Amino acid sequence: MRIILYLSGEFEELARIEAETFLSRVLLADRQITVGECGFNRFERFGLIHEASLHLFSCESNELHDFFREVEIPDGKCCVRVRNIGEKKADSTKLERELGAILWKRGAKISVSNPEYIYRVYLANKAHVGILLHVTDRKQFLERRPDLKPFFRPGAILPRLARSLVNIALKEGTLLDPMCGTGTIIIEAGLMGLDFLGIEAYSNIARGCKINLHHYGLPSNILIGDARNLPLKDESVDAIVTDFPYLQSTKALGDLLDLYEKSLSEFKRVLKPNCRLIFISNLDVEETVKNFEIKYKLYQRLHKSLTRRIYICLNS
């Protein structure tokens, strides 16, 4: 099945990597669009992917009317929905009416209010047309904002980012967050139906994390422990996703680098071969990650004094 994935523009680079985890082959890339052969159709797991559509065709925008004169007509009621990506390329309402009229003249049953099939037209550098399969409920991520959880500490990453990283890390198996904090990463993993384990060094934070897990109906798979000395067997987890503490002053640099060096050694030990480690940092730590293959390093600027680095690594 060939699909169109409509990506978040907020962090498109990461969204594109997430999209690739759902595809067996990428065929085409455009602004906030990836087209490819579907290899994993768990669309409800999307983090930074807004929509999935069954790909019908891609063309120049000025060719749309001609293509709609040839496109297959479904048996049920249908309508056309147009989305401009980036700068406005067309009057979406006018174009929807024009393309819908072409389908109606060809015998299609048009229903704007209650369609069974939606022709989704994405206008990027080219036009990409498909039958809408899935729309991500983005409201859920707002409802799970860190400050709306029962137990809150500043600095937690947003749920949609956590979910995207989990998708990139693994399709199935057990995910470990060895510095789980309030639990954003493991909560998203649990809600996606994955097995998970969180480890937290501070007992009061671990208790708060359990409260958050219970709030979402998830098991309290939390251990109190040190990421530099994990209480786990060798090669016992399928992925590691974590958010390192951020450096706040140069005085703490020595302690933080010690944490990186010792914890990364432990991550190497407990992670299965050819599985992924993904971590967030506010430091450039390539030298410390030398025992892993760095597949991607992404930057996310939060404000003038904080830029996140997202390392996506392979335990090769």
Residue at a domain's end among 135, 166, 200: 135
Average pLDDT on 298-313 reads: 91
**Where residue 101 sits, what CATH number does that domain have?**
3.30.2130.30
Judgement on whether residues 117 and 181 belong to the same structural domain of the protein: no
pTM here?
0.95
Strand partners, 115: none
Judgement on whether residues 95 and 112 belong to the same structural domain of the protein: yes
> Is residue 252 very low, low, confident or very high in pLDDT (cuts 50, 70, 90)?
low
Residue at a domain's end among 135, 162, 184: 135
Strand partners, 77: 109
The SS3 of residue 119 is strand
Angstrom distance (rounded) from CA 181 to CA 183 = 5
Judgement on whether residues 290 and 149 belong to the same structural domain of the protein: yes
Judgement on whether residues 164 and 305 belong to the same structural domain of the protein: yes
Pair of tokens at residue 144: 């799970």
Judgement on whether residues 126 and 166 belong to the same structural domain of the protein: no
Of 30, 18, 44, 47, give the one whose Cα is nearest residue 122. 30
51-80 per-position pLDDT tens digit: 999 999 999 999 999 999 999 999 999 999
Quote the domain boundaries for residue 29.
2-135
Judgement on whether residues 106 and 147 belong to the same structural domain of the protein: no
Judgement on whether residues 103 and 186 belong to the same structural domain of the protein: no
Angstrom distance (rounded) from CA 160 to CA 141 = 6
Judgement on whether residues 88 and 202 belong to the same structural domain of the protein: no
Judgement on whether residues 165 and 309 belong to the same structural domain of the protein: yes
90-111 per-position pLDDT tens digit: 999 999 999 999 999 999 999 9
Residues 6+ away with beta carbon under 8 Å from 19: 5, 7, 26, 34, 36, 49
Angstrom distance (rounded) from CA 95 to CA 112 = 14
| CB-based contact 215:148 (threshold 8 Å) | no
Judgement on whether residues 205 and 118 belong to the same structural domain of the protein: no
Pair of tokens at residue 79: 């309508």
φ and ψ at 56, to 5 degrees?
Answer: -100, -50
Residue at a domain's end among 135, 157, 174: 135
178-204 per-position pLDDT tens digit: 999 999 999 999 999 999 999 999 999
Our count of domains for the chain comes to 2
DSSP 200-242: ES-HHHHHHHHHHHHHTT----EEE-BTTB-SS-TT-EEEEEE
**Where residue 248 sits, what CATH number does that domain have?**
3.40.50.150
Judgement on whether residues 156 and 305 belong to the same structural domain of the protein: yes
The answer, yes or no, to whether residue 249 has pLDDT greater than 70, is: no
20-46 per-position pLDDT tens digit: 999 999 999 999 999 999 999 999 999
Average pLDDT on 254-258 reads: 82
Judgement on whether residues 231 and 172 belong to the same structural domain of the protein: yes
The answer, yes or no, to whether residue 254 has pLDDT greater than 80, is: no
Predicted pLDDT at 256: 86
